[in-house]
Amino acid sequence: MSWTTGRNKTFAASYRQTVHYRGHLRVALARRDFRRLLLVRLIGQFGDGVFQISLAGAVLFNPERQAHAAEVAAGFAVILLPYCLVGPFAGVLLDRWWRQRVLVLANLVRALLVLGVAAEVAAGVDNQLFYGSALVVVSVNRFFLSTLSASLPHVVNPPELVTANALSTTCGGIAATLGGGFGIAIRALAGDTNVGYGIVGALALLPYVASALIARGFARVALGPDDVHRCNRETMRAVAAGLVAGARYVARLRPVYYAFTVIGIYRFCYGILTITTLLLYRNYLPDDGFFRNGLAGLAQIVLGVAVGSALAAIVTPPVTRRLGFVRWASILLMTASSAAFGLILPFRLPLLVLAACVLGFTSQGIKICVDTLLQQNVADDFRGRVFTLYDTLFNVTFVAAAVVTALLIPDSGHAPAAVVAIGVVFAVTALGYLRFHGRGQLAPAASPAETEPLPIGQ
């Protein structure tokens, strides 16, 4: 009887939470300024998807270029370094400049820059100038996304902020994926050549200009910064000092320190596997029936990761309520270890797609555990600094993996010893997490939906 009552209460709470979410969503979408800001994001990130598929295709899958591990590493560094270096300091400038102007000018600057990068791709330029130009484009993208996040509180009421943030970032990711699909379709028409990939990159100009025109519809002061932000704005030195203070806080709070260590190790290994997979699809594996190599096969890998991530979002909340964050994260690490030995090591396309699904599941599940652990256990005074540090760590470890891969992995991507080593690291990390952290369980696990997510950027 008590079990049935408990189940009914859980269902009733979930139903109320769903109704509550839908109510906030309706209120947010009723705001014209929110709809306009969302449209600025969707069109701009659609352009990001087009540009990034042009960049990835030119570096990885262009038969007129030889894809080396070092070039793949440079491509990932171009995409991720702005998130490591620009991201933490973007807010300093966004509390000084009118954000409406930033949205307009960032889009127009991106439109001009992608024309230059597209011309370099079409001409077959493959040197520091090419990677430097692409790095500038992605850095401007980082400002654009940070401006969208900082502007959101000005177009929705505080009760709808979390819902609006979740909707915006999720839809933005979908728009970028659709942009990538559009770029692949155009590449099929334009051809697998330098000129073909240059045409794809140049087409990113259109959504960037459209996004700028829509952003012009806001009044100059509509998106802030307001007087409060201007009075409380930080300096570059203050942000750097805040990151140092956040690092010291993490070092003192052992459960958070262990969580940081686990996510750092996982992202490093995941990064090596990601770049190795790209090299395998480009330089080593032949087609295998329905499963393809090249860019088409990469799309299958991306789909597998997306399916695994979606499953993790469904499964992780109820499981962590029963097992806790530490046990579930350790189980996910052991699952990733098994996938490395059983699915990646044979080096066959069907198994690699299944491995992508499993690693998407484990990656998202571990991230949900760490996100929620930080939200529940970091003091409010340090939460912003710790999450900024966490966001930086999340990208820096991937860049470090790219550097290591460029130095140690052959251009074919066929590196059985590296896969075995990663499988062992996953297993040792799982056992170590249980050993050092299992005796000091944190507060009872809660669903991420039951904690207040932090809009820490895109």
pLDDT in tens, 11-50: 344 444 444 546 667 888 899 999 999 999 999 999 998 9
What confidence tens digit (pLDDT) does each residue in 409-423 have? 888 889 999 999 999
User: Are 159 and 242 in a shared domain?
Assistant: no
Question: Is-contact 151 22, C-beta < 8 A?
Answer: no
User: Are 174 and 288 in a shared domain?
Assistant: no
Q: Which of 206, 233, 260 is the last residue of a domain?
A: 233
Question: Is-contact 364 309, C-beta < 8 A?
Answer: yes
User: Does residue 10 lie within any of the structural domains?
Assistant: no
CA–CA distance, 453 with 439 (Å, rounded to integer):
27
Predicted local distance difference test score (pLDDT) of residue 59:
72
User: Are 216 and 254 in a shared domain?
Assistant: no
Q: Which of 200, 218, 233 is the last residue of a domain?
A: 233
Question: Is-contact 382 245, C-beta < 8 A?
Answer: yes
What confidence tens digit (pLDDT) does each residue in 375-407 have? 677 776 676 677 778 878 888 888 888 888 888
Q: What mean pLDDT do residues 114-131 have?
A: 87
Q: Residue 345 is part of which domain span?
A: 237-445
User: Are 273 and 220 in a shared domain?
Assistant: no
Model confidence, pTM = 0.71
User: Are 129 and 261 in a shared domain?
Assistant: no
Residue 70 or 214, more confident = 214
Percent of the chain with pLDDT strictly greater than 90: 30
pLDDT band at 268 (very low <50, low <70, confident <90, very high): very high
Domains identified in the chain, total number: 2
Please say if the pLDDT value at position 425 is more than 90: yes
User: Are 144 and 288 in a shared domain?
Assistant: no
User: Are 197 and 307 in a shared domain?
Assistant: no
User: Are 203 and 323 in a shared domain?
Assistant: no
CATH at 219: 1.20.1250.20
User: Are 396 and 300 in a shared domain?
Assistant: yes
User: Are 320 and 390 in a shared domain?
Assistant: yes
Helix (H, G, I), strand (E, B) or coil at 260: helix
User: Does residue 52 lie within any of the structural domains?
Assistant: yes
Question: Is-contact 195 52, C-beta < 8 A?
Answer: no
User: Does residue 14 lie within any of the structural domains?
Assistant: no
User: Are 203 and 270 in a shared domain?
Assistant: no
